[in-house]
Amino acid sequence: MAAHIGMMDGAYFVGRSEILAWINSTLHLNLSKVEEACTGAVHCQLMDAAHPGLVPMHKVNFDAKNEYEMIQNYKVLQDIFTKLKITKHIEVSKLVKGRPLDNLEFMQWLKRYCDSVNGGNLHSYNPLERREGCKGAKEVNKRSAPSQNATKNASTASKHVSHNSRRNEVPHVSSTNQSGKISRPSSSGGSSTYSETERTAHEQQITELKLSVDSLEKERDFYFSKLRDIEILCQCPEIENLPVVDAVKRILYAMDDDASLVDTEAMVSEQHQQVETLSCISEEAEERLRVDTQKRKNIVNVDVDLAASNTLSPRQRISDASDVHCSGSLVTY
């Protein structure tokens, strides 16, 4: 089942343009960005298209603007997942933020699921009728109606033009055939503009370029979300006044060939020099403290010796002096 597909599955390499075309054609909407579906209402109706009648569409709010209103839509979606025993985890806290990458990944998974359920055949589904009981459905239907009328008019005009062009080509073809009887090039001498091999190679190259563009867009969105997280972190009141955070902000907001990058590098090198200077000062302070401590110990020892000599009795002093005199006499003898 699609709930167990990995991140390297082909479903996660479907481009946003293809996702938007699928949503707009299935639900008769006029979305221009995938993150516009962050309210959860589109997800609910896509599940209703895959499983007609299973989703209580009267509980879906297409006019949800606040997060608590969007969460109600995702609760409806979670109930549907529970009924269908789908183990896919819904990152509601990320989806309601409207982040492009999170919404694109979930929509890629949802497309894969709908394709696996009914093979993508949703032609009998009437999205406008199913949306009638939803809150905010009238405004959504009004916005989607002009785009559908324009699509129908464009398709009708293209059919009309193609029919007229075919009708005008008939006499031209007949006259060409008549003149061709007189002068027709040999089959060996004429050749088409592109051979079948070249056409196949060009189509393969176009496909590879599309996949490369989609992969680059996904990578761009990924790093953009990371930079956005760093920006939010730098805006925290606890750390926003630190010099390092200021340097990070300058790098984030700097334009190409901006002088602020040079200032940032100078700031970082200056901070590094300050750290080295402070470390040297701290080492000198520790050495001075050690020397002072040793001097204090020596002074204390001298004071202790003086105090001890002052506390001797007169008899002890005479005995000490006699000992010294005797030792001196012995030495002289």
Question: Which positions ≥6 away from 62 have C-beta within 8 Å?
Answer: 39, 41, 131, 134, 135, 136, 137, 139, 140
183-192, 208-217, 221-230, 320-329: the lowest-pLDDT one: 183-192
Are 218 and 15 spatial neighbours (Cβ–Cβ below 8 Å)?
A: no
Write down the pLDDT at residue 56: 93
Q: How far apart are CA 69 and CA 146, in angstroms?
A: 27
Write down the pLDDT at residue 106: 93
Write down the pLDDT at residue 192: 52
By C-alpha distance, which of 175, 102, 137, 133 is closest to 29?
137
Select the more confidently predicted residue: 123 or 198.
198
- Residue 179's pLDDT band, with cuts at 50, 70 and 90, is very low
**Segment 205-264, tens digit of pLDDT:** 888 888 888 888 888 888 888 888 888 888 888 888 888 888 888 887 776 655 555 566
**Segment 17-50, tens digit of pLDDT:** 999 999 999 999 999 999 999 999 999 999 999 9
Write down the pLDDT at residue 185: 45
Q: Note the Cα 16 to chain centre separation in Å.
A: 15
By C-alpha distance, which of 47, 15, 17 is closest to 33?
17
By C-alpha distance, which of 113, 144, 153, 108 is closest to 25?
144
Write down the pLDDT at residue 159: 46
Q: Is the model's pLDDT at 71 over the cut of 50?
A: yes
Which residue intervals of 28-136 are DSSP H helices? 41-50, 67-83, 92-95, 100-118, 127-130
Write down the pLDDT at residue 312: 58
Give the largest Cα separation in the chain, rounded.
Answer: 157
Instruction: For residue 284, give both structure tokens.
Output: 């000198």
**Segment 112-168, tens digit of pLDDT:** 898 888 776 666 788 998 898 888 888 887 776 555 554 444 444 444 444 454 444
Using the Cα atoms of residue 231, residue 237, residue 239 and residue 242 in order, give the sign of their dihedral: positive
Could you check whether 10-133 and 212-283 share the same CATH topology?
Answer: no
**Segment 76-91, tens digit of pLDDT:** 999 999 999 999 999 9
Length of the chain: 333
Distances (CA, A) of 76 to 58, 69, 135, 139, 206: 10, 11, 14, 21, 41
Q: Which CATH architecture has domain 10-133?
A: Orthogonal Bundle (1.10)
2-6, 39-43, 81-85, 186-190: the lowest-pLDDT one: 186-190
Backbone angles phi, psi at 135, to 5 degrees: -75, 130
Write down the pLDDT at residue 162: 46
Select the more confidently predicted residue: 203 or 262.
203
Class of domain 212-283: mainly alpha
Q: Which segment, 53-67, 162-176, 231-245, is predicted with the most confidence on average?
A: 53-67
Place of tokens 């479903």: 11
Write down the pLDDT at residue 258: 58
SS3 135: strand
The rounded radius of gyration (Å) of the Cα atoms in the chain is: 42
Distances (CA, A) of 286 to 49, 295, 318: 76, 14, 47
Select the more confidently predicted residue: 176 or 212.
212
Domain ranges of the chain: 10-133, 212-283
Q: What is the DSSP string of 197-228?
A: HHHHHHHHHHHHHHHHHHHHHHHHHHHHHHHH
Instruction: For residue 327, give both structure tokens.
Output: 């030792």
Place of tokens 């200056």: 270
Write down the pLDDT at residue 247: 83
Q: What is the pTM of this model?
A: 0.46
Select the more confidently predicted residue: 69 or 9.
69
Backbone angles phi, psi at 9, to 5 degrees: -70, 155
Q: How far apart are CA 101 and CA 22, in angstroms?
A: 18
